[in-house]
Amino acid sequence: MNELIIFDTTLRDGEQSPGASMTQEEKLRIAKQLEKLGVNVIEAGFAAASPGDFSSIKAISKIIEKSTVCSLARALESDIKKAGQAIQPAKHKRIHTFIATSKIHMENKLRMTPDQVLKRGVEAVKWSLDYTDDVEFSAEDAVRSDVNFLIEIFDAVIKAGAKTINVPDTVGYSIPKSWGNLMNELISKVPNSQSVIWSTHCHNDLGMAVANSLSAVQNGARQVECTINGLGERAGNASLEEIVMSVKTRKDIFNLETKINTEQIVATSRLVSNITGYPVQPNKAIVGANAFAHESGIHQDGVLKHRETYEIMRAQDVGWGANKISLGKLSGRNAFKNRLVELGIELDSEEVLNSTFDRFKALADKKSEIYDEDIHALVTEEFVSVAVDRFKLVSLKSITDTQKKTLCRN
């Protein structure tokens, strides 16, 4: 099979969106759903970033069986050690190490020469191999890097043992033709390029993350790094659902398969949106509420006569309509518990189960149809309320002062 590897970074680059940080319990729920969706690799976080990130990656590593669990690490021995320890329990584990290769980053951020960067990249790959043989190397800001330097550093890290070479457009600067050409040039000029998987990682600053990623795929990339709903740093990353459905719908062009269970796309999108609080715009491709809605009379008439007059994909193939009515106000505690199990939600104790069930009953009194998304929202609410109960405002003192002397004249 000519496979396109789907590397999901919702829990790492996605979490870098302002205000999108997630609790460990929320990350676990998303990770389980990503596995159900069928992603090949889950980038679960950046272990060295914080003890919370470390612990979430470790917890995810313990429960995920089919997907590879990955941690990001700078090209630093201490980062790589943390990444290696965090992914240690995973059945399939990867370390993704990176260093910037553009002049602007090397001179101003790293304050390193190209020779030092190359040497460090090689060391980083070797340190990572102590923890796993699945090592990915990224050249941060590849888009603004000198292509000859990229060829040199990729050659060196492949010799050191990297299995995946990721080419990021860190700042969302490229356009499809140039991005595809760069991938093509790298694959044709880097020695032994056929022994590794070439990967693309695009940001959406000019709205071209998906188009650029697909252009890289047409030029030999066999891994795409992407996020659910295109969540991510600044304008976001390439959107997983758009990449996957483009490759599936235009098989005539790409001739590639992914392992994605596309019927889980809408449920995954809703879960990520509920948890992060980032709404999905109604006209968003694939997962927006209007993505399959036909407003104009001519279109409605056409679709009714023959669906394919105005539809290139089937709504049910991406999971629209699959979110069945799950429970109602007559449903009992057992049915509720079973539904949680089906959704992969584990609650800490009987006490938490009981109070979530009480919330469910209160909602079912007001809303006759309870969907899976409602259940996810109830569980999130329950965890938030438990967290809030742990803190009590004891006292508050407020002082205001303009720091200016005023003269009073009578």
Q: How wide is the angle at C-alpha 344 spanned by C-alphas 339 and 348, nearest 5°?
A: 90
270 binds, among ligand KIV, Zn ion, none (CB under 5 to 8 A by kind): none
8 binds, among Zn ion, ligand KIV, none (CB under 5 to 8 A by kind): none
Q: Least distance in Å: CB of 182 to Zn ion?
A: 16
Closer residue to ligand KIV, CB minimum distance, 201 or 270: 201
Letters for 147-166 (x = contact with ligand KIV by CB under 6 A, - = none) are: -------------------x
Q: Is 127 in the site for ligand KIV (CB under 6 A)?
A: no
At residue 310, φ and ψ (nearest 5 deg) are -130, 5
Closer residue to ligand KIV, CB minimum distance, 94 or 248: 94
Q: Is 79 in the site for ligand KIV (CB under 6 A)?
A: no
Nearest CA among 35, 122, 43, 41 for reference residue 86: 43
Residues 241, 247 contacting (CB under 8 angstroms): no
Closer residue to ligand KIV, CB minimum distance, 97 or 274: 97
140 binds, among Zn ion, ligand KIV, none (CB under 5 to 8 A by kind): ligand KIV
Closer residue to ligand KIV, CB minimum distance, 145 or 262: 145
The Cα-based distances of 131 to 75, 125, 158 in angstroms read 14, 10, 17
Residue count at the site for ligand KIV (CB under 6 A)?
Answer: 10
Nearest CA among 104, 78, 42 for reference residue 228: 42
Closer residue to ligand KIV, CB minimum distance, 87 or 318: 87
Q: Least distance in Å: CB of 72 to ligand KIV?
A: 6
Residue from 33, 97, 170, 219 touching ligand KIV (CB under 6 A): that is 170
- CB within 8 A of 112, min separation 6: which ones? 106, 120
**Residue ranges in 174-203 that form contacts with ligand KIV under rule CB under 6 A:** 201, 203
